[in-house]
A and B are shown apart, each in its own frame.
Chain A
């Protein structure tokens, strides 16, 4: 503590330089946090995936359907606990920019397979009784200001000639048990869908989601399902939900590599900027370090001062993480209509950002610090 006045006085020697360095730290850490948020958003599907859930799709591609009649056959395979099916609807609410995912669900089994998405019993019962009923995620309800009882029209150009309007009654709201659970979906009943779609879509579902008794059996069950429908007109491909979610992310390109590359560039740029600042700062004070060493401050003390200065810059610059914590929810709301899931700033990203700040703080001080340590007092004073 008794050296704090010296460290702070040296830090404030060039105020504009200090502000700019702290600013670059804050911006860089904001970017690091934001990259972490994006990475988290893309990985969310895999992260929230149930360990005991498998997804079965048409082997050709996800856009190809599979028969509803497979459901009972799959359920008979040993180890399968429950099964439900979904279809992608792709309707438009008022305008195409108002995107949110809509799924045709199987009301009988939905809650057994997705227990983490909670609907109050009375609302669920109302859903079962209303053929045109819809259950909507809390975030989408909030986004459009909907209330239970509202009648919502969705236009679909896929299921039906022209842009057919589908009317729904909101009868319930679901909430995720975990903060990262997706609360943007819109569910409606299979029966309503089935009665309105053209003949070619009848009896066809998009994919099956199933739960197994023991996650360790997943590879065996997946193989058994796919073998069951081998050489049929609609062969299947079954994989764990996390692998399926990861496959979706891959369709966007190699996001992990992109984030890693940008993050590395940010890290090294920050390291170079801060290192350069510290090097200039130390070079300007060569004579002062010589005097400190002459009057009895050791090499380690000198190195300690320089690292302390750099760490203070890093810690104050960590305010960029705080800015990210404020900005991410705002940005999340602004991006609510995008394909990305909810933007969240996980604590692990904040901790990682803070560690990046500490590492850059120490590393950027090492080289100038070592040169100050090695400074020969006699040589430095001769240069004055």
Chain B
């Protein structure tokens, strides 16, 4: 269940954001991107964030992924308070808990699909054979097992993004953060990628937080939240509204 009013008193959410502020300083001007933002996300939720350019969607995603630190407020993920972590601890935490999916795929061009997917596992203590097994499983989930030895330049955009998804899920992270995952794809490839992300939620119980400009893509999520003036506003799921302020 997702809440944006900070009223979840039971503290059982997977992701709990309280009073989140993010301020940038540009020249002598302070830009308040996020202001007192609250958010609760449960395990298995699929949330889309929408909003105009510069509204702070990506900033929010970066904060939730431990790539940036807030000016004020707290972010707690699975009991870990991120705002108190050092840079090194945050790096370790990201390796364990977060799978990133970027708009531009961001695969390493000199590595094969297999090697790209294997990257997060190099940080674990898994043996070579165990890593191979995990990579093959991840590539099978994204239906690219037969392309594991291809380099990114030998794949289509949709295939590259599926390899990036395999890289994001291979270490079985706590949640996935997707920043415009279909922003650089044609409609057909975008649909394939969104089908895959939905499958990860439905079949594998993954928690997904996604930023998108595309309302069609946002419709795939259980809930769409709009960022307006630095705070989140529910716009709900057109398919299924749940009473009580929450959306399931």
Contact = CB atoms under 8 A, between A and B. Distances in A.
Interface residues of B, number: 26
B101 to A, nearest CB: 11
Contact of B106 (A2, A13, A378, A384): A384
Contacts of A13: 109-110
B98 to A, nearest CB: 8
B140 interface: no
B119 A294 contact: no
Contacts of A292: 119
Interface in B48-100: 62, 65, 67-68, 87-88, 91-92, 94-96, 100
Given A3-B122, A291-B102, A378-B67, A296 B108 contact: no
A59 interface: no
Which range holds the interface residue count of chain A? 20 to 34
Nearest to B151: A9
Given A6-B115, A377-B67, A296 B106 contact: no
* Dominant secondary structure of chain A at its interface with chain B: helix
B91 A297 contact: yes
Contacts of B91: 293, 296-299
Given A9-B110, A291-B106, A295-B120, A378 B62 contact: yes
Given A294-B94, A297-B123, A288 B67 contact: no
Nearest to B103: A384
A306 to B, nearest CB: 15
Given A288-B106, A295-B119, A297-B91, 7 more contacts: A3-B122, A293-B91, A295-B95, A296-B95, A296-B120, A298-B91, A299-B88
A-B pairs, top 9 by smallest CB distance, nearest first, are A296-B95, A9-B110, A291-B106, A298-B91, A377-B67, A378-B68, A296-B94, A13-B110, A296-B123
7 contacts: A2-B122, A9-B111, A291-B106, A293-B91, A298-B88, A378-B68, A384-B102
Interface of B: 62, 65, 67-68, 87-88, 91-92, 94-96, 100, 102, 104, 106, 108-111, 115, 119-120, 122-123, 128, 167
Interface of A: 2-3, 5-6, 9-10, 12-13, 287-288, 290-299, 377-378, 381, 384
